[in-house]
Amino acid sequence: MRVRTLKIVLAVSVALNVFALAGAGAYVVSRAQVERKVDAQRGSGRQDALAEVLAGLDPAIRDDARQRMRRSALSAKPDFEAARSARREAIDVAGRPTLDQPRVRALLEQARAAEMRGRARLENDAVAILAAMNAEDRKALAPILRRKGDGRRAVAGKDE
């Protein structure tokens, strides 16, 4: 090979390597940004609203209420998981070449029933938590019973 050809091949190789490194760097940065956004969306909503409601309570009452609500959420988790599972299966069945309407309807009914069981458990436990409080603390914590249209709990003055 001639020197000029080698220089051209070397220049093209360097350019391609720089381009590949820039692309890989952009991919890593954008992926990290997406993961941060997903984590922020996943963790905000209920947690921020709950923290805001609990912030005004006495620390001992706040810790007790937080622990009791956490236990309630953990006990309701199987119901919500069953609801999501039934809904995923309904989506799968509905996407098949032939629609099995009775099966899809039954799965959606199972999903609704499981979700309602979970919601009822959370709400009943919330009422039990409120019943153990004095009127002032109960008033401060009462917004946990309010629901937004998207299914997340809302704080007084924040549901629009």
Pick the closest to residue 46 from 159, 154, 160, 157 (CA basis). 154
- Over its C-alpha atoms, the chain yields an Rg (Å, rounded) of 26
Helix or strand run (H / E) with residue 77: helix 59-94
Average pLDDT, the chain: 83
Domain limits, the chain: 1-43, 46-145
155 neighbors 143 (Cβ within 8 angstroms):
yes
Chain segment 70-126, per-residue pLDDT in tens: 999 999 999 999 999 999 999 999 999 999 999 999 999 999 999 999 999 999 999
- What CA–CA distances, in Å, run from 92 to 78, 82, 96, 109, 110? 21, 15, 7, 15, 15
